[in-house]
A and B are shown apart, each in its own frame.
Chain A
Amino acid sequence: MVAHVVRLRLTLWAGSLRTSPWQIVGLALGLLNAVLVSLVLVGSMAYTRTIAEETWDVTLIVGGALVVVGWWVVPLLAFGVDSALDPRRFALLAVPRRPLLAGLAVAGLLGIPGLTTLAVATAGLLVWVPDILPIIVGLVLLPVVMLTCIAGSRAFALLMEPLLAARRFREVVGVLALAPIVVVAPALGQSLRALRRGADVAPALIEIVGWTPPGAVWAVQVDVAQGRWGRAAAHLAIALVTAALLVKLWDAGLERALTTPPPRPNVVAQHGPGWFGRLPATPTGAVLARSLTYWARDSRYMSNLTVLPVLVVTLHVLSQGAVPVTTIIAPAIVAFTLGWAVVADVAMDSSAFWLHASAGVRGIADRTGRALAVLVVGVPAVVLTFVAGAWRADRWDLAPASLGLSAVLLGASLGISSLVSAWVLFAVPAPGDGPFSTPHGSATANLFVQSLAWIVVMVLATPSIVLTVYAWRGSAAAGWGGLALGLTLGVGLLVAGLRAGARIYDARVPELVHALRSRG
């Protein structure tokens, strides 16, 4: 059974690679990235060891615990669980549950996250050289580490599934992600300050984290190295009980997934035409109304709106209120991010885009409607972000410079993404999937085009950045100049991007429909 599931995983991989050469490039880049990250991690681990043994202990236990927590939590918030091996797909095959569980566990290793974790955890053991005992203990415990990671990630995903299926909940998940950041960030700040004062927080940190379920499995090596056998046994017990409980939990979740249909979301009703009745009755107005409806109703769009406040709060907390960050950088990031949001708009429509093609919507109407929706959302978001920063710092004098920079970034990124979205279909989650679930299509094209476009935006924004710097140093004239330049350049770039995008759109409509239909 294990061999079967593993073979299935590999076949699915091979199948997805065969669909397009970009997939192979994507895998190669992903692997390269994983190797680089592993090398950096192992290198820095080795380096901490050269500083002092205690530093290494902290790195191992706290870093290891973070990795485990990442496995547990990230799928819920960020990437979604590997849907290719969704246990429900096995529901109709009379597969015994326990062998299936074992198969899924091993198959869970076969992925870039699994292999990276395994590689880093293994390479980390070399740091103990020449001490042989902790290496042996670490090797023996590797399966426990991986089981804790994989079983935990699947167990929590299955456990949260009914909650995640409820639309309301999925929509507030982004906001919930705010909570840990607000809690963790000040704690991090405190510890950093304590370190700077020279206080040694390491022993306390090890003591606390080592006794938690995600940390215990890493603490065993340290105990063995120090020859503290009693503590080693206690930590080992915690680690084993954790792994066993997670497997039990996963097993129970699997049983439920195999025997009950997936939860259905509640039916939502809305009377009347909504935005369609309030905006001009033109194709452009209709596209705008549809986009605005989606910004408010589709979790893939809403995630933009829930992530941004998280981002702004994080910036405020981490920078501890540094004026340039809260008044200039934060609004600029919001402007840029929202302007870029329209880049995947056609891809988000999925094959529903046929309606635009069939109705013969002109490119300029399509492009403008979608971009206006971003402006409706984006302009207030940028202004609010600036107001929050200026309020806190009492630096209203930075308004012209900051808003000018944001205008350029919003106009440039919106213009360029309006052009790009008529040309490249980004990989996005299918309609109805969670905002962070596995996207359909090649993610490599995303990376490549995105990097290129971001460079272009940065180049276009350079004059405004320079003026903003002068304004920050106290030149009021530079501020007002920046505002004038920002508004002119922003609007100009937006209009140019819309026009160019419309031309590409008009030429490529059938090709877009075909590409979207073959995505399913």
Chain B
Amino acid sequence: MDASAAPPFAIEARGLWRRFGTTVAVAGIDLLVPTGSFYGVVGPNGAGKTTTLSMITGLLRPDAGHVSIHGTDLWADPDVAKRLLGALPDGVRLFDRLTGAQLITYAGLLRGLDRDVVASRTGELLAALDLEQAGSTLVSDYSAGMTKKVALATAIVHGPRVMVLDEPFEAVDPVSAANIRDILRQFVAGGGTVVVSSHVMELVERMCDHVAIVATGRVLAAGTVDEVRGTATLEDRFVELVGGRRTSEGLQWLHTS
């Protein structure tokens, strides 16, 4: 398709619903991610971030709603849409009886890449993510941060156009986190689109150009970071929208002196 006809949104999710038993995890979320944006999804624990990100990456079927990736209907034509996507889910295992290099190779081959392409990309990814030493170690022996990094590598080895990363910086050391941020910024500068979820407001504020605040399965605010935070900081705005701050009068017994 030519550039002028390309839809403006890398991800266009409308009216997403998902229920687990009697709990409604996601209650009608719209998420419009412009192509070429660095999009942050923030929200308190249990807000429905992971559920939403699973549904826009084809890992969880929504009860209702529609998702398209660069104009391709994800749930009607998952094969095409998944080729455009690089997903890093949170809280999942990896094939950890493989070495780091084998795991990235496996992800590349599953995506149908050539052997040579996979080999060279695996080497580059290990180097870029400071995992060269660990490439020949089983993933089951990795620390939490290393596991996160190798999972990121498996998510992007096929060169996606849209990355959807659930908590990509959790447990990652500061130097590696900075390296990952550089990789993501360059990816966005080259026309790619990144969606990250995070608890860390300053990180999102510093890194992202767009943000959505999600709580209790709904989007409370969304838009460019400047639009959403207004004159305050993102954290103040978040607390204002989400609520739940309490003055710490309780727990007096915790004050030992």
| A282–B83 CA distance with the chains assembled, in angstroms | 16
Residues from chain A with a CB closer than 8 A to the CB of B89 are 354, 358, 517
Chain A residue nearest to B139 (CB atoms) is A352
Residues from chain B with a CB closer than 8 A to the CB of A360 are 58, 78-79, 82-83, 111
Q: How far is the CB of B52 from chain A (nearest CB, A)?
A: 14
Stretch at the interface among B98-106, B220-228, B237-245, B249-257: B98-106
The answer, yes or no, to whether B61 is at the interface (CB within 8 Å) is yes
Residues from chain A with a CB closer than 8 A to the CB of B119 are 273
The answer, yes or no, to whether A359 is at the interface (CB within 8 Å) is yes
| A356–B106 CA distance with the chains assembled, in angstroms | 10
Interface string of A281-293 (1 = CB under 8 A from B): 1110111011001
Interface string of A330-360 (1 = CB under 8 A from B): 0000000000000000000111101111111
Known: A267-B141, A282-B109, A360-B79. A510 touches B95 (CB 8 A): no
Residues from chain B with a CB closer than 8 A to the CB of A352 are 92-96
| A273–B83 CA distance with the chains assembled, in angstroms | 24
Residues from chain B with a CB closer than 8 A to the CB of A513 are 54, 59-60
Q: How far is the CB of A318 from chain B (nearest CB, A)?
A: 35
Chain B residue nearest to A274 (CB atoms) is B102
Within 82-106 of A, Cβ neighbours of B (below 8 Å) are at none
The answer, yes or no, to whether A432 is at the interface (CB within 8 Å) is yes
Q: How far is the CB of A367 from chain B (nearest CB, A)?
A: 14
Contact B110 A359 (CB under 8 A): yes
Chain A residue nearest to B154 (CB atoms) is A355
Residues from chain B with a CB closer than 8 A to the CB of A431 are 93, 96-97, 140
Within 288-304 of A, Cβ neighbours of B (below 8 Å) are at 289-290, 293-294, 297-298
Chain A residue nearest to B59 (CB atoms) is A513
Contact A510 B58 (CB under 8 A): yes
Interface string of A264-286 (1 = CB under 8 A from B): 01011111111011000111011
Known: A281-B114, A514-B60. A269 touches B136 (CB 8 A): yes
Tally of contact residues, A, Cβ under 8 A: 43
Contact A273 B101 (CB under 8 A): yes
Choose from B83, B98, B107, B136 the contact partner of A293 (Cβ within 8 Å): B98
Contact A283 B110 (CB under 8 A): yes
Contact B58 A290 (CB under 8 A): no
Known: A276-B102, A352-B95, A352-B96. A361 touches B59 (CB 8 A): no
The answer, yes or no, to whether A511 is at the interface (CB within 8 Å) is yes
| A412–B129 CA distance with the chains assembled, in angstroms | 46
| A273–B98 CA distance with the chains assembled, in angstroms | 9
Q: Of residues A351, A357, A360, A517, which shows the largest number of chain B Cβ atoms within 10 Å of its Cβ?
A: A360
Contact B96 A356 (CB under 8 A): no
The answer, yes or no, to whether B213 is at the interface (CB within 8 Å) is no
Q: How far is the CB of A265 from chain B (nearest CB, A)?
A: 8
Known: A268-B138, A510-B59, A517-B91. A283 touches B98 (CB 8 A): no
| A520–B102 CA distance with the chains assembled, in angstroms | 24
Contact A286 B137 (CB under 8 A): no
Interface of B is mostly: mixed
Within 424-462 of A, Cβ neighbours of B (below 8 Å) are at 431-432
Residues from chain B with a CB closer than 8 A to the CB of A276 are 102, 105-106, 109
| A297–B99 CA distance with the chains assembled, in angstroms | 11
Chain A residue nearest to B110 (CB atoms) is A359
Contact B61 A511 (CB under 8 A): yes
Contact B109 A283 (CB under 8 A): yes
Q: How far is the CB of B157 from chain A (nearest CB, A)?
A: 10
The answer, yes or no, to whether B112 is at the interface (CB within 8 Å) is yes
The answer, yes or no, to whether B72 is at the interface (CB within 8 Å) is no
Within 225-277 of A, Cβ neighbours of B (below 8 Å) are at 265, 267-274, 276-277
Residues from chain A with a CB closer than 8 A to the CB of B137 are 267-269
Interface string of B154-166 (1 = CB under 8 A from A): 1100100000000
Contact A289 B106 (CB under 8 A): yes
Known: A267-B137, A359-B110, A360-B83. A354 touches B59 (CB 8 A): yes
Contact A290 B59 (CB under 8 A): no
| A293–B57 CA distance with the chains assembled, in angstroms | 28
Known: A267-B137, A357-B59. A286 touches B98 (CB 8 A): no
Contact A283 B112 (CB under 8 A): yes
| A265–B89 CA distance with the chains assembled, in angstroms | 27
Contact B96 A517 (CB under 8 A): no
Contact A432 B136 (CB under 8 A): no
| A358–B93 CA distance with the chains assembled, in angstroms | 13
Chain A residue nearest to B101 (CB atoms) is A273
| A356–B112 CA distance with the chains assembled, in angstroms | 12
| A356–B98 CA distance with the chains assembled, in angstroms | 15
Contact B110 A355 (CB under 8 A): yes
Q: How far is the CB of B49 from chain A (nearest CB, A)?
A: 14
Interface string of A354-395 (1 = CB under 8 A from B): 111111111000000000000000000000000000000000
Known: A267-B138, A358-B57. A294 touches B97 (CB 8 A): yes
| A286–B157 CA distance with the chains assembled, in angstroms | 15
Q: Report the 9 A-B pairs with minimum CB-CB distance, sorted nearest first.
A: A286-B109, A360-B82, A281-B115, A359-B110, A351-B92, A352-B93, A510-B61, A271-B136, A297-B97
5 A/B residue pairs, CB under 8 Å, sorted by A: A283-B110, A290-B106, A355-B106, A358-B155, A359-B158
List 18 additional contacts besides A287-B110, A355-B154; criterion CB under 8 Å: A268-B141, A269-B99, A276-B105, A283-B111, A290-B98, A294-B95, A351-B92, A359-B111, A360-B78, A360-B83, A362-B79, A431-B93, A432-B96, A510-B58, A510-B60, A514-B59, A514-B60, A517-B92
Residues of B within 8 A of A (CB): 54, 57-61, 78-79, 82-83, 85, 87, 89, 91-99, 101-102, 105-107, 109-115, 118-119, 136-138, 140-141, 154-155, 158
Residues of A within 8 A of B (CB): 265, 267-274, 276-277, 281-283, 285-287, 289-290, 293-294, 297-298, 349-352, 354-362, 431-432, 510-511, 513-514, 517
